[in-house]
Structure 1
Amino acid sequence: MTTAFSSDGAQVIYQSFETKATENKTEPQQLDEVYQIEETCNFILKNQFSKVALQFPDCLLLDSAAVASKLETATGSKMYILGDTSYGSCCVDEVASEHVEAQCIIHYGKTCLSPCKRLPVMYVFGRRNIDLEECAASFRKLYPNTDIPVIILYDVVYFFIMGGLQKILQSEYPNVVMSQIKPEVTKKGLDLDLGEVPANRPVGQLVEKFGRQFVIKEGFNIKDYGIFYVGQEGATLNNFMMTFNQCTFCSFDPMTKVGRQESININKALMKRYYLIERAKDANVFGILAGTLGVADYLSIIDHLKDLIKTAGKKSYLFVMGKLNVPKLANFLEIDMYVLVACPENSLLDSSDFYKPVITPFELEIAFNKQREWTGEYVTEFRDLLPGGNSYVEFRNQNVESLIEETDVSLITGNLRSTSLAKTELHADNGESSLVQRNQTLTLSQLDPAASFLSRRTWQGLEPKLGETPVTKAIKGRRGIAISYEDEKNS
């Protein structure tokens, strides 16, 4: 019998797949327009790149060879196709690009627009089919009051129609604000033209979030606006709704041509996340999951999380394991809770199927940074938590005596819990080591959570029994495969 985090492998053998290669492949005459071949060639030639990495999501790999061939012919540069990415395909895979010594990356398809620092990046979003008139009609139906202030957000694959949508609506809706795509430029002199953007920007507060920017008019606040999203239901929409949780949301799905008011209960979703924050306060051992190796400042937030956990009297381990799944995380039973460091669209992981819960860096901050209070605001971008970020709150290391005296009551179990590092551990950890002298009463298992967990298990692996097992000469074993060895007789 299998469980949620183990398998006998049978489903891998018997599962079936549907192939839709002919339906998804772009027609040759449309490649130049869909993949912006001319703009990409200009970018490569202008910056004199000789080695270029082309990163495609799985759904666009069918066109990758044709696109690479066109770019090589036009530029003379060597193209490397990056297929399966180590983490989410929305993030730029700088690690794989450096393996081929690429000088820049061309990222195709949907993206979270998270900034990178090591290599220059050009984004080619592609162009999904959309009925502009149907989208405008859906907007009018959802917002019959023409004076209501509305911010229009959209999936990046529909960026090219936003100028046309604004022209249709601006005469009827004077308070509509169109967002613009403006990813953070990684290298000077490499700013890109991402298409037509509205020219008449009102004067007011500039808001920049997730590679997009829009202006809130003077006298208005973000919570005074409704938000109209163009795109399919998914991680991007969920990210916007959690971040701007004080706004009402409506959406238009270009695939189904259906507009609707989003009915997800944000307060209920926030309370679920707050429950995980209380679980974090009860946890003793944390696993920090590196869910990205390309987003800028990921090492800084990992160091910050380590400091938070250590000051709270907890232990932490760092895991780098690529794409997450239930069986991977179920291998580490000594971990009480995981913290995922990833881009905003991949941070809100539904961990209901996982053996142990997975939280975000912001939720760990709420749990252990005593200077930060829960206000209902939710931060999915971990860079906002670092110094200089929009949501940065100073984390102060308190003195040893105050740390020892603090206690707290768990809202889940009702028991007292320690909220600081024990005095013995503080002194033992000064040298960044869990080892102690022999004449002290503490043992390694008391300071190292993995060793402590192993000491409590009834089965601890095979016993080595050094010196007890006789040494025998190696002999030739069977040949063949398990189903039929060569020395077996057919029955």
Structure 2
Amino acid sequence: MGGGRSGEGRGGRARIGDLRAAAGSGPREPPSCRAMATAFSSDGETALRRQLGPAAAPRGDLDSFYEMGRAAAFVREGGFCKIALQFPDELLADAVAVATQMEAATGAEVYVLGDTTYGSCCVDEVAAEHAGAEAVLHYGPACLSPCRKLPVLHIFGKQPMDVRCCAEAFRELYPDRESRVVVLSDVVYAHAMGELEQQLSPDYPNIVFSRVVCGDPPGPALPGDVRQFGRQFPVEAPGGLQDCAMFYVGAEGLALTSFMLTWNCCPFSSFDPATNCGRRETFNVNRALMRRLYLVERARDAQVVGILVGTLGVAGYLTVLQHLRELLRWAGKRSYTLAVGKPNPAKLANFLEVDIFVLVACAQNSLLDSSEFYRPVVTPYELELACNPGREWTGNYLTDFRDLLPGACAHVELPAAVHVEEAVPDISLITGEMRALHCRDPPAPQLPPSTALACRDQTQALAQISPAASFLESRSWRGLEQQLGQTPVAKAVQGRRGIAIAYEDEGRKQP
């Protein structure tokens, strides 16, 4: 099952029979006894053990928490013969029990996705297709981004919540009963919003509760309706959303950060059901926006941009990739499209020729903190602010890349191409140097003859095509010499066996 972690590579999967065998039927050891797990079976295994946290105990209320009846009805009504169950790390302890019940209730062939290709909040259609699944049951927190291919049922898991305590915290934060407040919640607490509404609505006539919508909501939006982040709610305030306050039920995390940046004109408060504490959010939105706008200026200075594919399941990701390529071509910048799984500093440091990266991911995962990265990572919206002169900063921040596509609410066409002599130069706010504004597609480079890769006298022609070749040309060290035809041919011999700290042909050291 891929180790049960959200891994870097392709999604792992396991049949339910294999999972039962792996789980074993004997008594469970205490977490302290199972804290160390071996990765190898050789004599050097003790030096390569990795520390693991204590395993979570399975739940006893599976039917209620995982809505087993609704999930089984979804599978039977769809006529699915093979399904995939996707769990986040914190719920993997229940995977065997849930999959066993689903297989018994539906007769379908059940696979558990033990690894996720990207973020666990997104439906991993890639791993599901590897197993040949016809549908996916996604458990736990979700970004609610619409999928491209497979039918999906979201089961958030009914996390416990003290509704009475939440209502008291709300009354303390909003003593004015005429306050206009929009109540948002993490999806794992959506089941309790109905009861919370019953307690607060009689005292607060202007309170509005958002509704969770999985995928694209049907039909056109009504006037005054807001549809974002898988939530839908009406706004009846005279000044629109900016006259409303936001009350978020859930823990601090990426979802709350996205809400606060997107609706940065609204004051936020929150209630964490895990601690039963309510507070006014003091997240400095202006400071965060200043940081993001600084990255926009870095994108304006960049000449080579790496487009990071951060999702393969969200609808429209191929369209936005093409949109970004055209945008960069129009701005006179060179681009690479990179699929590296979950980005981290070590992976992206391999592309030194890239000046900046743009991450195409779901709304929750697109705001990547790149302070530890060798090069900054921006969002598609920030790249548009940098490269599209027709898009101006209005104070509204966009995290959903689908809003930028043609036909969307925030799409802005590229201006018509103009001649070079009409281009307006500007000054970089970072380097202080003057840069020219590219207002038309750069001419397509002419491909060199096929011998350009082998002939040293045509290296410059190759460098004009590839930013990587140009960067390599400027480096003092370019790798090992090939020395073709100079190295004598030697007969292959058997090498050492084992691991580096204990090869089989080495004598054991006496303690």
Deviation at 1:360, TM superposition (A): 0.2
Give the letter for the 2:432 counterpart.
Answer: G
Map 1:91-490 → 2, pairs under 5 A: 91-184=122-215, 205-217=224-236, 219-396=238-415, 398-399=417-418, 401-402=419-420, 405-420=423-438, 426-428=443-445, 443-479=461-497, 481-485=499-503
Q: In the alignment, is the contact (CA less than 8 A) between 2:143 and 2:362 conserved in 1?
A: yes
Partner of 1:200: none
SS across alignment from 1:300: helix
Deviation at 1:61, TM superposition (A): 0.8
Deviation at 1:124, TM superposition (A): 0.4
C-alpha change, 1:407 and 1:254, in structure 2 (3 Å) is same
SS across alignment from 1:137: helix
Give the letter for the 1:347 counterpart.
Answer: S
Give the letter for the 1:49 counterpart.
Answer: F
**Which sits farther off after the overlay, 212-221 or 455-464?**
212-221
- Equivalenced residue count is 457
C-alpha change, 1:63 and 1:479, in structure 2 (3 Å) is closer
Deviation at 1:456, TM superposition (A): 1.3
**Which sits farther off after the overlay, 463-472 or 154-163?**
463-472
Structure 1 alignment gaps of length 5 or more: 1-11, 192-202
Give the letter for the 2:427 counterpart.
Answer: V
TM-score, structure 1 normalization:
0.88
Equivalent position to 2:119, from 85, 88, 104: 88
Give the letter for the 2:482 counterpart.
Answer: P
Deviation at 1:129, TM superposition (A): 1.0
Q: In the alignment, is the contact (CA less than 8 A) between 1:52 and 1:78 conserved in 2?
A: yes
CA deviation digits over 1:216-261, x for unaligned, max 9?
1163400000000000000010010011000000000000111000
Equivalent position to 1:21, from 47, 56, 71: 56
C-alpha change, 1:385 and 1:422, in structure 2 (3 Å) is closer
Give the letter for the 1:108 counterpart.
Answer: Y
Partner of 1:54: 85
Deviation at 1:472, TM superposition (A): 3.3
CA deviation digits over 1:259-291, x for unaligned, max 9?
000011111111110000001111111110000
How far apart in 2 are the matches of 1:442 and 1:397? Answer: 33
How far apart in 2 are the matches of 1:481 and 1:103? Answer: 42
How far apart in 1 are the matches of 2:381 and 2:306? Answer: 15
Deviation at 1:317, TM superposition (A): 0.6
Give the letter for the 1:414 counterpart.
Answer: G
C-alpha change, 1:51 and 1:41, in structure 2 (3 Å) is same
How far apart in 1 are the matches of 2:268 and 2:87? Answer: 31
C-alpha change, 1:87 and 1:404, in structure 2 (3 Å) is farther
C-alpha change, 1:244 and 1:479, in structure 2 (3 Å) is closer
Structure 2 alignment gaps of length 5 or more: 1-46
Q: In the alignment, is the contact (CA less than 8 A) between 1:436 and 1:442 conserved in 2?
A: no
CA deviation digits over 1:174-212, x for unaligned, max 9?
0000100112259x9xx9xxxxxxxxxxx9611111111
Deviation at 1:434, TM superposition (A): 7.5
Partner of 1:8: none
TM-score, structure 2 normalization:
0.84
Q: In the alignment, is the contact (CA less than 8 A) between 2:360 and 2:380 conserved in 1?
A: yes
CA deviation digits over 1:431-486, x for unaligned, max 9?
xx577999999622133210011111111111111122233343454555544556
CA deviation digits over 1:372-414, x for unaligned, max 9?
0012110000000001212111124514x24884432101111
C-alpha change, 1:485 and 1:372, in structure 2 (3 Å) is closer
Q: In the alignment, is the contact (CA less than 8 A) between 1:229 and 1:252 conserved in 2?
A: yes
Give the letter for the 1:379 counterpart.
Answer: L
How far apart in 1 are the matches of 2:55 and 2:458? Answer: 66
How far apart in 2 are the matches of 1:345 and 1:71? Answer: 30
Partner of 1:37: 68
How far apart in 1 are the matches of 2:87 and 2:459? Answer: 57
How far apart in 1 are the matches of 2:175 and 2:459? Answer: 74
Give the letter for the 2:59 counterpart.
Answer: T
How far apart in 2 are the matches of 1:70 and 1:15? Answer: 32
C-alpha change, 1:434 and 1:20, in structure 2 (3 Å) is farther
Q: In the alignment, is the contact (CA less than 8 A) between 2:331 and 2:440 conserved in 1?
A: no
SS across alignment from 2:311: coil
Q: Percent identity?
A: 50
How far apart in 2 are the matches of 1:476 and 1:81? Answer: 40
SS across alignment from 1:345: coil
SS across alignment from 2:246: strand
How far apart in 2 are the matches of 1:74 and 1:486? Answer: 51
